[in-house]
Structure 1
């Protein structure tokens, strides 16, 4: 009987939070961040596809994807310059 009460209370809290709209903002932020990461990976893919002819290769991992996704084209340019100067 106690488990039914606990499940009911937790369900009520979840429904209350959903109605309040607080998780909506969090989910929107997570969704936007995920989309930026995907766009960053796409930028790096195209950079590697085109840059392969010129000897430019930037590995696609979480760090480079985050940099190129959140900074956009300046981030891709910075990664390319770092790749050319360091390696």
Structure 2
């Protein structure tokens, strides 16, 4: 798609949302979920950066980021245990 079409679609959606209004609760829920996934990816990034000395590597993808973002540090530890013992 050309950039003009994409910009037109996005600006049209913004104008539509300004006219109609947005449901706040679902957008807040989606936003919080995305923030947790990003935080989980950061946890895994730092784990992989520090864990290279010890042979620990957990791939960063949507599933592992979601697990580590929702469960926090215990989720990261669980992913390391699964990676080391199961796989």
Task: Settle same-fold status: TM greater than 0.5.
Answer: yes
- Which residue does 2:36 correspond to in 1? 36
TM-score (normalizing by structure 1): 0.75
How far residue 86 of structure 1 moved from its aligned partner, in angstroms, is 1.9
How far residue 84 of structure 1 moved from its aligned partner, in angstroms, is 1.1
Residue-by-residue CA offset, 1:1-57 (whole Å, 9 max, x unaligned): xxxxxxxxxx6xx62xx2xx7x10011001100000000000000000001100000
Three-state SS of the structure 1 residue aligned to 2:56 is coil
Structure 1: tracts of 5 or more residues without a match: 1-10
Aligned residues between the structures: 70
CA–CA distance in structure 2, aligned partners of residues 82 and 52 of structure 1: 17
Q: In proportion to residue count, which structure has more helix? A: 1
Residue-by-residue CA offset, 1:59-80 (whole Å, 9 max, x unaligned): 0011100100111111000001
Matched, 1:67 2:67: yes
> Which runs of at least 4 in structure 1 moved beyond 4 Å after TM superposition?
none
- Which residue does 1:86 correspond to in 2? 86
CA–CA distance in structure 1, aligned partners of residues 25 and 86 of structure 2: 40
Q: Name the Cα RMSD after superposition.
A: 1.4
TM-score (normalizing by structure 2): 0.75
